[in-house]
Amino acid sequence: MAVHAHPDDESSKGAATMAKYVAEGVEVLVCTLTGGERGSILNPKMDRPEIAENIAEVRRQEMERAREILGVQQRFLGFVDSGLPEGDPLPPLPEGCFALQPLEVASEPLVRAVREFRPHVILTYDEDGGYPHPDHIMTHKVSVEAFEAAGDPDRYPDSGEPWQPLKLYYHLSFTKARFEALHEAMTEAGIGSPYGDWIARWEDRPQKWELTTRVPCADYFEVRDQALLAHATQVDPDGFWFVCPREIQQKVWPTEDYHLARSLVDTTTPEDDLFAGVRETLPATTPAPECDATS
């Protein structure tokens, strides 16, 4: 199960990983907590009044196309996008938005989804949300709550039969080491790299979360890119996501990366498989064959 704040987040974080596991027979569910109703149109080619007026429906259609490309299941969990506040001081968040919900209210649909889908592995954001969008930060909170509560029959007793996931991961999609490697490879290839100034401004501090798990998934980068392009209001085909040639990415950084935040099974890091330790445990917990693991 991959838990995300908005439609398009599933395609920019962990998409190749999901496509790889789908191809191997794993059931994968994306839970999208909001509809992205307050998202801006980030692709100038799509910045038209008729799209802006119907952005919620357009983003649902984009999500459906991306879901089909990735081969995953997907559910919207029904909350309203909080938007990204800007200004000094920051304006208050809109009344009723996802980020302002009490934790138990915001978590209940995800607890219910976990108990229905019964994943062994959950992917989510770290406590900073990957970046400080209020919906991403709340997504972290509800993901941790659901991981810890879904197996407890005394918590959320009206939200389905208890089910305990076994591993919880945080995405480490945007690390300095990755962009330094891509920058160096593009420079050596004689391609202008846009990453130099960005790297130079990167705060010189230790990475907050240890990179514990690198999933080899370069063969699925094309699927990832197609899923990204399905979110046409959010992703400019001539923009940031595609500035580094895919062939260089596949050669220089052929993995998607994670931090193992919780594990109820024995595993040794570094890992190259989200199901490390889970596969060994499954025969003792379920009669399902290995390929029927769920993420």
Residues 6+ apart with CB under 8 A from 185: 248, 251, 252
Residues 6+ apart with CB under 8 A from 206: none
Amino acid of residue 226: Q
9 is in an annotated binding site: yes
188-to-31, 200, 244 alpha-carbon distances in Å? 40, 18, 13
The answer to whether 121 touches 274, Cβ cutoff 8 Å, is yes
Q: Find how far residue 188's CA is from the centre of its chain.
A: 31
262-to-81, 126, 134 alpha-carbon distances in Å? 28, 12, 23
Instruction: Please name every residue paired with 30 in a beta bridge, in sequence order, or none if there are none.
Output: 2, 74
272 is in an annotated binding site: no
Query: How many helical (H) and strand (E) elements, i.e. helices and strands, does the chain have?
Result: 11, 7
The answer to whether 79 touches 106, Cβ cutoff 8 Å, is yes
What H or E segment, with its residue span, contains residue 259? strand 255-263
Provide the 8-state DSSP code for 272: S
273 is in an annotated binding site: no
Q: Which residues are annotated as a binding site?
A: 6, 9, 136
Q: Which residues are annotated as a binding site for Zn(2+)?
A: 6, 9, 136
